């Protein structure tokens, strides 16, 4: 990672994680929670700017990813454990609280940290995935909506086929996933009116043709050969059972959160996304929902010409938004 970062293995919540840190450990803490299928490397452009702004930055490769521990039980990847992992890192560094920033799946983790452990969360920033309260078991609701048509979260409920598909060629998988959800791929692409059948369809089936590396965004190169080499090596080591198993706990996560309403998120909250993020296309009312639900929601930044990987595609614009919010905290 660029800048003066330190990497170490830290025991937390019964496992060990590879954790990247930057900044003075005596400074206020900010925890960066990555998404699927990513690593702490996805925060490489944020580590040093946050440290320079007076924060102690904690960015783990979360359970199941890279060289962090990867339990073999599916229920080990519920948000109860994912939140406990992050709180255990705070304990390790002697921090009562931190600002929690999460992207994609990591966003769901930090929203759950704020809901279940509000005393540990000084403020919360969701990136790409807004706060949601499910009216019922999410997977069951998705089955009602999609039926026998392909939807990746339903595909991921199968144990075996998804990790086999994704792990067959980790380099191609990571290149297709990273480019496929970027602004350059999404902008102007027609959304199919009918989804393909679940039977015989994989996660990578409909991914667009890849351009040659490096991948370019509005601020320049955002994925080069070295980035893709790094992602490839880590996923070749870890495989995809752990990362995909995060999705296999959606119903259990929702059941644990039953009765814990948005009023528990009394800390300052914020949201950052790209205007071409596929999540915003699927959930266009997310920002309005947070405005109505979260007690101290301080707004959202929608970054032009940026896709799902917003902190990688447009890091300068992302850092301005994040640091402006952090600077507003008491």
Phi, psi of 23 (to 5 degrees): 95, 180
Measured CA to CA, the distance from residue 244 to residue 249 in angstroms comes to 10
- Cβ atoms of 320 and 306 within 8 Å: the answer is no
Known catalytic residue at 276: no
> Which one is catalytic: 34, 103, 116, 308?
308
Measured CA to CA, the distance from residue 270 to residue 292 in angstroms comes to 13
DSSP string, 74-129: GGGGSHHHHHHHHHHHHHHTT-S-EEEEEETHHHHHHHHHHHH-GGGEEEEEEESS
Quote the crossing angle between the two packed helices 105-116 and 79-92, to the nearest 10°: 70
- Continuous H helices in the chain: 47-52, 79-92, 105-116, 138-146, 152-155, 161-167, 170-180, 183-186, 225-238, 241-245, 250-257, 278-282, 286-293, 310-313, 315-327
* Alpha carbon separation from 227 to 219, 270, 295 (Å, rounded): 16, 28, 39
Q: Which residue has the tokens 């850092």?
A: 319
CA dihedral 270, 303, 306, 45 (to 10 degrees): -60
Measured CA to CA, the distance from residue 218 to residue 313 in angstroms comes to 8
> Which one is catalytic: 104, 227, 276, 277?
104
What is the number of other CB atoms lying within 10 angstroms of the CB of residue 263?
10
Known catalytic residue at 104: yes
Measured CA to CA, the distance from residue 251 to residue 247 in angstroms comes to 9
What is the number of other CB atoms lying within 10 angstroms of the CB of residue 160?
9
What is the set of active-site residues?
104, 308
């Amino acid at each position: 990672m660029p800048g003066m970062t330190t990497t170490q293995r830290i025991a937390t919540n019964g496992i060990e994680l590879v954790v990247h840190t930057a900044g003075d450990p005596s400074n206020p803490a900010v925890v960066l929670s990555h998404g699927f299928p990513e690593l702490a490397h996805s925060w490489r452009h944020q580590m040093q700017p946050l440290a320079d702004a007076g924060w102690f930055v904690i960015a783990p490769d979360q359970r199941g990813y890279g060289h962090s521990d990867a339990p073999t039980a599916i229920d080990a990847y519920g948000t109860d454990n994912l939140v406990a992992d992050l709180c255990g890192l705070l304990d390790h560094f002697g921090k009562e609280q931190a600002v929690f920033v999460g992207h994609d799946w990591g966003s769901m983790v930090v929203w759950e940290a704020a809901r279940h452990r509000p005393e540990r969360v000084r403020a919360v920033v969701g990136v790409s995935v807004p706060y949601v309260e499910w009216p019922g078991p999410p997977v069951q609701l998705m089955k009602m909506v999609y039926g026998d048509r392909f939807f990746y979260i339903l595909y991921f409920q199968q144990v075996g086929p998804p990790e086999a598909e994704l792990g067959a060629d980790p380099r191609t998988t990571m290149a297709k996933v990273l480019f496929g959800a970027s602004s350059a791929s999404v902008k102007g692409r027609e959304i199919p009116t009918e989804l393909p059948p679940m039977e015989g369809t994989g996660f990578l089936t409909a991914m667009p043709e890849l351009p040659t590396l490096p991948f370019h965004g509005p601020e320049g190169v955002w994925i080069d050969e070295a980035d893709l080499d790094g992602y490839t090596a880590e996923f070749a080591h870890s495989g995809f059972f752990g990362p995909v198993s995060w999705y296999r706990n959606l119903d259990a996560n929702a059941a644990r959160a039953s009765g814990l309403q948005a009023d528990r998120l009394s800390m300052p909250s914020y949201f950052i996304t790209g205007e071409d993020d596929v999540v915003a296309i699927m959930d266009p009312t997310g920002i309005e929902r947070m405005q109505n639900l979260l007690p101290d929601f301080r707004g959202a930044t929608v970054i032009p010409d940026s896709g799902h990987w917003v902190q990688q595609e447009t890091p300068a614009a992302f850092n301005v938004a994040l640091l402006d919010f952090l600077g507003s905290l008491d």
